[in-house]
Amino acid sequence: MSSADTPDKSPLTLVRLNAVANDGASPKGKPGCRKCGDCPGGGEDCNGKKVTTITSMLPSPDHVLSTLEKDGSRRWLFPRLAKGRYWNRRRWFGYALIAFFVILPHLRYAGKPPLLLDIPARQLIVMGNTFLPTDTVLLAFGMLGVFLTIMAATTLTGRVWCGWACPQTVYMEFLFRPIDRFFEGTWGHGGKPRRLVTGVLAVLRFATYFVLAMALAHTFLSYFVGTDRLAMWIRSTPIKHPLAFFVMTATTVAMLFDFLFFREQLCLIACPYGRFQSVMLDRKSLIVGYDVVRGEPRGRLKKETSDTKGDCVDCKLCVAVCPTGIDIRDGLQMECINCTQCIDACDSVMDKIGKPRGLIRYSSQDGLTGKPSSKMRPRMLLYPTLICVVASAFFYVLLTKSTFDASLLRGAGNPYTSIAIGRVQNSLKMRLVNRSGEPQQYTLGITSPEGVSLEVMDPSQLQMQPGDSRLIPLSVAFPASLTGQGGRFEATVTVTDGVGRRKDLNIPLLGPRQ
Ligand code: SF4
Ligand code: SF4
């Protein structure tokens, strides 16, 4: 007995039955079904076959999402490949980006990687400049600059980032999708698989994915720990660096999940950037759009009616190539990642039927409706002005920043200790950071008042490499008579670097009340 005859009562099955009933097809899809959709609830279809119609649930509309079947299950996309001018440009740009991403951590600038978010040392290195968690002003200006640049770029160029440079698109379209097409037998064409990838083929495909995902995960990790440390870890057992091994494994698993399974869902569901489009785009922003005026009314190409029809021959090639499964002819949609595949597909159709290219093209909402579409508008003045202000503030703070940071903290424990008759000692700690691009030998001293002596517990710690940050224990001894009735007095500690730049730090020293 078929499942249609004995319906499973699980929610998923109920939804599926509902969808079948609303499709108008008999549960078995027998030949002869007119798909009229008039099958009576609990009755029989026109083939005399019993039909179960669930009336307590809302009928499913045509397609709620481009990646969802009417019964709520995942609609897997197998986009065809449209090779055209944009595809070629995007492909070379994508491979250049991948090469840049892989090579960058191996380069050196001022002896350090050009970009390193060194989590163990809690510092960010950008082109020889070291930023520490205490650089809050610089980090705030930097983040503000990045956000403003994203907003300005999106307002002007729409989702060019998504289609051309986003790692998700670049890896999916130029690394992982070609692997799929190779194993599915659609190499160079895309579209529905020509063979089932099972058995040995499935294992080989997974192994290729795994190796690529692991290589990318190692590259990703090198931006956080540096290539030297990573190479050392690769040669040693994971037991010696369990956290890094865990991060690498988790990144590999996340990549496998994303590129094997999640795919376009990341852009459609998880990525917040697509959601922000409605506030960042305006009618003059660059988009990939369909020229409704020129294309409609769409219809199959027939010689006798070609004058009255629009240029769209309704071949649906633009839909077949779309990696997010949408129909660009329905207008601007959040799912569109501006990958330009529909432009290339439609251009090839226009070439074949002898019509000018550009029925689908880069334009703006105003441009597509024939309105003047000048790029200039108030926000295109406002954003660059704000970016200039923030960038100026950032570089002013950066260029006037001291070549070393020094601050004094009190040590833990008693506020003071008696070390001899009439003499007391305070324990201190100095946070010293070498921000210069060279190794430095620092010297500490205490200038006032008379009779105070300072001792560095480990003087070798004052020899520091660029970017080093240390907490150096000190002790200060002084005559107990200096503390007076208040039990305290101010002293000045001086820090001098190898080229004579000096900082004075005041610190209250504590002792017995006199
Ligand atoms: S590819 Fe061009 S002609 Fe074909 S359906 Fe899409 S818009 Fe119409
Ligand atoms: S509609 Fe066109 S540009 Fe947008 S995602 Fe689909 S194929 Fe790419």
Q: How far apart are the CA of 356 and the centre of ligand 2, in A?
A: 20
**Could you tell me the distance, in angstroms and rounded to a whole number, from the CA of residue 20 to the centre of ligand 2?**
30
Point out the ligand nearest to the CA of residue 334: 2
In this prediction, residue 5 carries a pLDDT of: 39
Q: How far apart are CA 330 and CA 66, in angstroms?
A: 12
SS3 467: coil
CATH of 404-510, one of 1.10.3720.10, 2.60.40.10, 3.90.180.10, 3.40.640.10: 2.60.40.10
Spell out the domain ranges in the chain.
Answer: 404-510
Residues of the chain with pLDDT under 70: 1-62, 303-308, 373
Looking at residue 363, what is its pLDDT?
Answer: 92
Q: Which residues, in sequence order, are CB contacts of 66 under 8 Å at separation 6+?
A: 75, 268, 322, 324, 325, 326, 335
pLDDT in tens, 468-500: 888 999 999 998 888 888 888 888 999 998 888
Ligand 2 binding pocket, CB closer than 6 Å:
288, 321-324, 326, 328, 336-342
> Is the CB of 317 inside a 6 Å radius of any atom of ligand 1?
yes
- Does ligand 1 lie within 6 Å of residue 360's CB atom? yes
Give pLDDT, residue 39.
54
Kindly give, in sequence order, each residue whose CB lies less than 8 Å from that of residue 391, ignoring residues fewer than 6 positions away: 145
Q: Where are the alpha helices (DSSP H) in 158-291?
A: 160, 167-171, 177-184, 199-225, 227-235, 242-256, 265, 272-275, 277-280
Query: Exposed, middle or buried: residue 413 (CB in 10 Å: 0-12, 13-18, 19+)?
Result: exposed
The DSSP result for 306-350, as a single string, is TTTS-S-----HHHHT-TT---GGG---TT-----HHHHHHHHHH
CA distance 227 to 154: 34
Q: What is the pLDDT of residue 304?
A: 56
For tokens 């240390």, what's the residue? 470
Decide: 380 in ligand 1 pocket, CB within 6 A.
Answer: no
For residue 321, the CA-to-ligand 2 centroid distance in Å is 8
The response to whether residue 318 sits with its C-beta less than 6 Å from ligand 1 reads yes
Instruction: Summarize pLDDT for 138-154 with one digit per residue, the tens.
Output: 889 999 999 999 889 88
CA 179 to ligand 1 centroid distance, Å: 28
190 Ramachandran zone, left/alpha/beta (phi>0; psi -120 to 50): left
Give the atom of ligand 2 at the shortest distance from the alpha carbon of 318. Answer: 7
Our mutation pick for probing the ligand 2 site, out of 166, 324, 359, 363, counting the most ligand atoms within 8 A of Cβ, is: 324
For ligand 2, atom 3, which residue shows the shortest CA distance?
338
Whose C-alpha lies nearest to ligand 2, atom 5? 336
DSSP state of 106: G
Ligand 1 midpoint to CA 42 (Å):
42
Residue 148, burial from CB neighbour count under 10 angstroms (0-12, 13-18, 19+): buried
Which of these, 162, 151, 179, lies nearest to 268 by C-alpha position?
162
Residue ID of nearest Cα to ligand 2 atom 7: 322
State residue 28's pLDDT score.
Answer: 41
> Given this model, what pLDDT does residue 307 score?
63
Three-state DSSP at 223 gives helix
Give the pLDDT confidence score for residue 78 in this predicted structure: 94
Query: 124-145: buried (b, 16+ CB within 10 Å) or exposed (e) per residue?
Result: bbeeebbbbeebeebeebbebb
Closest C-alpha to ligand 2, atom 8: 339
Nearest to 386 by CA among 140, 126, 138, 147: 147
Whose alpha carbon is nearest atom 8 of ligand 1?
312
Angle between helix 341-353 and 85-103 (nearest 10): 150
Q: How far is the CA of 488 from the centre of ligand 1 (A)?
A: 84
DSSP structure class, residue 83: -
C-alpha to C-alpha distance for 174 and 506, rounded to whole angstroms = 59
CB 76 within 8 A of CB 197: no
Report pLDDT for 72.
79
Backbone angles phi, psi at 7, to 5 degrees: -65, 135
| Strand (E) or helix (H) holding 93 | helix 85-103
Mark 473-498 as b/e (b = at least 16 C-beta within 10 Å): ebbbbbebebbeeebbbebebbbbbe
Å from CA of 135 to ligand 2 middle: 42
CA distance 322 to 338: 10
Q: What is the dihedral of CA 306, 310, 315, 321, to 10 degrees?
A: 150
